[in-house]
Amino acid sequence: MGLVCQQCLARNSALCSAMIGDEIDDLFSIAHQVKVDEGGYLLHEEDPSKYVYNLSSGVCTLERLASDGSRQIMAFVYPGDFIGINPGPFYSVSAQALAPIVACRWHMKDLEGLYSAYPNLEQHVHGIASRVLAATMDQLFVLGRKNAVEKIAYFLLYIDGRQRKFDGHSDSFVLPMTRIDIADYLGVAVETVSRAFSQLRRRGLIELSQAWVVTLKDREGLREVVEHTVG
Amino acid sequence: MGLVCQQCLARNSALCSAMIGDEIDDLFSIAHQVKVDEGGYLLHEEDPSKYVYNLSSGVCTLERLASDGSRQIMAFVYPGDFIGINPGPFYSVSAQALAPIVACRWHMKDLEGLYSAYPNLEQHVHGIASRVLAATMDQLFVLGRKNAVEKIAYFLLYIDGRQRKFDGHSDSFVLPMTRIDIADYLGVAVETVSRAFSQLRRRGLIELSQAWVVTLKDREGLREVVEHTVG
DNA sequence: CGTGAGCTTGACTAGGTTCAAACGGGGTGG
DNA sequence: CCACCCCGTTTGAACCTAGTCAAGCTCACG
């Protein structure tokens, strides 16, 4: 019985949750555990996409680097999230660890081999892929149509939603990423991120006991900010 | 033998090309043709996603509307492209016709029913979905990290790539979308789009015989513009 | 207790938005 | 057939948001 899996933070992820009871052993038996130190890369955008990963612990970014050095973060990846599920010859993003990470790795081929035994596994994989697209479109909308403060408000609510399941039900959470990461995620400058945080704090919508410890004082107010309701 | 299909602009699309010879009849027999006038909507973002569409002719946008009236165009859809392949309870984008369109419509259920008979059909569907994600990530990168002129240069090369297969091998193409559409795609103001066009024309990179007839005079130069190589 | 990386704040600048006006081309009605 | 009108586009000028550059601050760590 896959004890390792039963205790995994990602046990209820979209993929692993498709396997009930001892079935998980089938999935585990073809998995490899990989670890990456903080700042290290799990994979690079130009790597051939042989493997699929499911993050067990830690946080990482999916990012793309331009020739001029500028960086765009496409997503923040939390335990239970997948990396590399999208078919194609190469991952088209790199995955960098914001904290030490542990991930389960499968050969794409091996995983596909399980499809016949577990028919809903394939659907699950594609359901995951489509949720990634939905999130990316949300981000696209925000980058295209929102100003700096609105972007930060969106970001905070987004992170709150992502982390609540790990951080418990408190209104505070610890940001695993730096201001630079946030800036590269939202397509603005670091200083702009900092100023937007300060403005939201001054407005009483958030509290910052430390730079990376955020308390949402007024979720509804933040939502209004995102919605452009200048109020 | 599916004559309608054999002559369709989308015959070689990722989905229909999975069916060779008479197999296409199976796909056609469960399809409905739908037509939408210019400016009309094929589907709305809040509609339950019962159907999948394959565009046969015309062009349309995938867009999202904010409460404050601002619009973000997520993609331009050309013949052979799919709409609504991503699982989820609702389409999360609306599809608006830029020109009169004809599309094949399938019940998602019916299409899934063919999966057992044509195993590679399912893969094809998901291959499509993943290419959509790749394109969306490209756009995300451009919106986040490029200035106005770079965005327009990217857009022109992108459209060139999309339309070349329909417009033949000339260097000119006719834009099916307005400047407003372009602005809403790139997250800038209409005037900014116009100014960027003019600048590229003055620099000799493009030619505009009419506002919507573009000739790429220097593709390599445009690529350099996109790559931020300020030169 | 000193150091340095990351964060904040200030002053200035630049690029893009906004508002306003002029232009152009296609379609309509006289 | 021509004149007019309208919509989409272009251009100009003022404004403003966010970027840039630079300095000071905070806090974790050695």
Tens of pLDDT along A182-214? Answer: 999 999 999 999 999 999 999 999 999 999 999
Selected from 3.40.50.300, 3.30.465.10, 2.60.120.10, 2.40.50.140, the CATH number assigned to the domain covering A3-142 reads: 2.60.120.10
Nearest Cα to A196, choosing from A209, A210, A206? Answer: A206
Structure tokens given for B207 = 């030619």
The domain segmentation of chain B, as residue ranges, is: 3-142, 146-226
What pLDDT, on the 0 to 100 scale, is given for residue A230?
Answer: 55
**Could you tell me which chain A residue has the CA closest to the CA of B144?**
A187
Angle, CA of A108, A112 and A115, to the nearest 5°: 155
CB atoms < 10 A from the CB of B48, how many? Answer: 10
Ranges of residues in chain A whose predicted pLDDT is under 50: 1, 231
Radius of gyration of chain B (CA): 19
Amino acid, res. A201: R
Residues with Cβ within 8 Å of residue A139, at least 6 apart in sequence: A74, A75, A185, B140
The rounded average pLDDT for each run of 10 residues, N- to C-terminus, in chain B (231 residues) is 76 82 83 94 96 94 92 96 89 96 94 85 85 94 97 97 86 94 98 98 96 96 86 46
CB atoms < 10 A from the CB of B210, how many? Answer: 8
Query: Distance between CA B207 and CA B215 in Å, rounded?
Result: 5
Which of B74, B83, B130 is the best mutation test for A, with the most CBs of A within 10 A?
B130
> Straight-line distance from CA A182 to C1' D24, in Å?
23
Distances (CA, A) of A35 to A45, A52, A56, A95, A104: 18, 14, 10, 13, 9
Interhelix angle B190-202/B148-167, rounded to 10 degrees, is: 80
Could you give the count of Cα atoms lying within 13 Å of A183 in the half-sphere of its Cβ?
14
Query: Distance between CA A32 and CA A53 in Å, rounded?
Result: 9
What pLDDT, on the 0 to 100 scale, is given for residue B2?
Answer: 55
Contact A66 B133 (CB under 8 A): no
Contact B227 A87 (CB under 8 A): no
Where do runs of H (alpha helix) occur along B8-118? 24-29, 108-114
Nearest Cα to A196, choosing from A222, A220, A218? Answer: A222
Which of B137, B147, B190, B224 is the best mutation test for A, with the most CBs of A within 10 A?
B137
Distances (CA, A) of A6 to A22, A57, A121: 10, 14, 18
Tell me which DSSP letter residue B121 carries. H
Distances (CA, A) of A13 to A26, A53, A85, A125, B161: 16, 12, 14, 11, 38
Query: Distance between CA B219 and CA B195 in Å, rounded?
Result: 19
Residue B143: its chain A contacts at CB < 8 A? 140, 143-144, 187
Contact B227 A64 (CB under 8 A): no
Nearest Cα to A16, choosing from A2, A5, A30? Answer: A5
CATH T-level assignment (fold) for domain B146-226: Arc Repressor Mutant, subunit A (1.10.10)
A193 CB neighbours strand C below 7 A:
yes
Residue A137: its chain B contacts at CB < 8 A? 64, 74, 92-93, 136
What pLDDT, on the 0 to 100 scale, is given for residue A229?
Answer: 59
Distances (CA, A) of A14 to A55, A102, A125, B33: 12, 17, 8, 35
Of the partner residues B71, B74, B227, the one whose CB lies closest to the CB of residue A137 = B74
Task: State whether residue B55 is helix, strand or coil.
Answer: strand
CB A9 within 8 A of CB A77: no
Nearest Cα to B95, choosing from B125, B53, B132, B131? Answer: B53
